[in-house]
Chains A and B, each alone.
Chain A
Amino acid sequence: MSSSEQIIPHGHVLRYNLRERLTHWVAAIAYIYLLSTGLAFWSPWLFWVAAALGGAQVSRMLHPWAGLLFFAAVWNMYTMWAQQMKHTDDDRKWWKAVKYYSTNQDEKMPPAGRYNAGQKFLFWGFFWSTVALLITGLVLWFPEYIPWNLRLLRYLSVLIHPAAALFTIGLFMIHLYMGLFAERGAFGSVIRGDVSIAFAKRYHPAWYKEIAGESSSPRK
């Protein structure tokens, strides 16, 4: 999956290589299925969603498998990005200035690297929630095999699983908002892989400096 063979249009730089993009979309599709079926089990008012997706029995059968797929994708992200997601001193400054970020005064933000502190929070929030969802999800997958004297596991799982899911829903909404609406160009970058140099300079100046310094060509 060498990224160097990809043709990047003039004035653009590669932001996400093929492995990153594929992983993102495997996770995205799995997550949207998990979210839809999960919300159907969450509220009677949304039970029809399961019916629309082939019936609640089918949803119950496939939800855990989609969960395994999602976990695999998130684990792959961990192996790709854990290093880049480490918290730095700049991130602390970023959080202090977050009110400028959320009011589109990006020029007042400390320079972000490949991922800004908010994106790092999203990543770790999703990562740890997914671990919690996996563990509690395994209990909820086979509740009938949890012996009576270990029923505390079931009691904890029915509470932690939806709580962790709700947390990811909050992250997911912000992620969609940023990627689809707030930062024009971000959505295309996770499909085609590249962003304009202007995008890179504006939102991830420290990262752009890094990759531009690496070679004379604007490619990574």
Chain B
Amino acid sequence: MSQATLRVQKISGHAGSVPGEDTQREYTVCKLIDTTTCIGCKACEVACMEWNDLPFGETVFDNTYQTMPETRWNYWNLILFNEHEREDGSLMWLMRKNQCMHCAEPGCLAACPADGAIVQYTNGIVDFQQANCIGCGYCITGCPFDIPKMNPKTHRVFKCTLCTDRVSEGLEPACIKSCPTGCLHFGTKDDMLDLAEKRVKQLRDHSNFPNAGVYDPQGVGGTGVVYVLHDASNPELYGGLPKNPRVPLSVKLWKGPLKWLGNVAMIGGLVGLFVHYLRYGPKAREEEDLATKPGGGKSS
């Protein structure tokens, strides 16, 4: 992906400093998805394929308004559909545009061992660099949203780039441009949160959605994609949006305490054995020493 005007602030599997950290005055960009005005037209799905030149693939009809069960390595943007029956017996068609959430603290990047395979730009976009990807799939384990998908042929992982190439040229992502109802917005994180709060207030005060709210999960440091939900207390209703997504605990333990313990133990072990050899040396130096009968005098 083009990095012409983008600088990198986080790099996966990287030793040493990072070029873009704190070097650029840059707004964090954000996509706002208002699920309450999404009509499930899938213009965004088409725009995503169009702009990114993704190959055509089979769709899967499951008697709903959903194109396929989940995103694919070459299908990054999918509207998830759920027919929800409310307590009063009325039905709601919940539509949620699903794609990479561009977490501020990305689990994929934390889990990735390959230098430079996953980067986060100073504008907050998390981008996969397939040339550096080694195909280990650790990002799949690190992601709490089940987004990274493996290309079985090339064994590299792909996902939404937030149209890095467009955004770096000052354009909005392709999906945003295509939305006919205006349920998709793009701008700075602050502006999008502001807009989202206004919409939530409207929903609460005038549309009888007292539980309406903004989805910007803090467990991953906030996300570069925020949702407005009619019922923010039940995000799972929206195609299994996790209530409190976090980088998996085991990934944190592996990359945190285990790594430190392991490194200290390995280096300590090497030093310890070296010092032991300096202090005690070999058990027996020459054949004559060996032949000395046990208990027959030789002791260091």
Contact = CB atoms under 8 A, between A and B. Distances in A.
A202 B149 contact: no
Contacts of B258: 159, 162-163, 166
A182 B115 contact: no
Interface residues of B, number: 53
A190 B293 CA distance: 24
Interface in A59-75: 59-61
A174 B277 CA distance: 12
A162 B262 contact: yes
B138 interface: yes
Interface string A49-66: 010000011011100000
Interface stretch (A20-28, A99-107, A116-124): A99-107
B111 interface: yes
B15 A47 contact: yes
Interface in A89-120: 102-109
Interface stretch (A125-133, A147-155, A212-220): A147-155
Contact of A57 (B134, B261, B262): B134
A201 B254 CA distance: 45
Contacts of A155: 141, 248-251
B136 interface: yes
A135 interface: no
A109 B205 CA distance: 83
Given A103-B280, A155-B251, A159-B250, A144 B113 contact: no
B251 A47 contact: no
B55 interface: no
Contacts of A166: 258, 261-262, 265-266
Contacts of A173: 266, 269-270, 273
A50 B266 CA distance: 19
B277 A60 contact: no
Contacts of B253: 159
Given A60-B135, A106-B283, A185 B290 contact: yes
Contacts of B136: 41, 60, 140, 143
Contacts of A56: 114, 134
B15 A44 contact: yes
Nearest to B285: A184
A60 B157 CA distance: 14
A80 interface: no
Contacts of B137: 140, 142-144
Interface string B271-300: 001001100111111010011011110111
A162 B254 contact: yes
A198 B287 contact: yes
Nearest to A139: B141
A184 B13 contact: no
Contacts of A203: 283
25 contacts: A40-B113, A41-B136, A42-B113, A44-B15, A47-B115, A56-B134, A104-B283, A107-B298, A140-B138, A144-B137, A144-B149, A151-B248, A154-B140, A158-B251, A159-B250, A159-B258, A162-B254, A170-B266, A173-B269, A173-B270, A173-B273, A177-B277, A184-B290, A198-B287, A199-B290
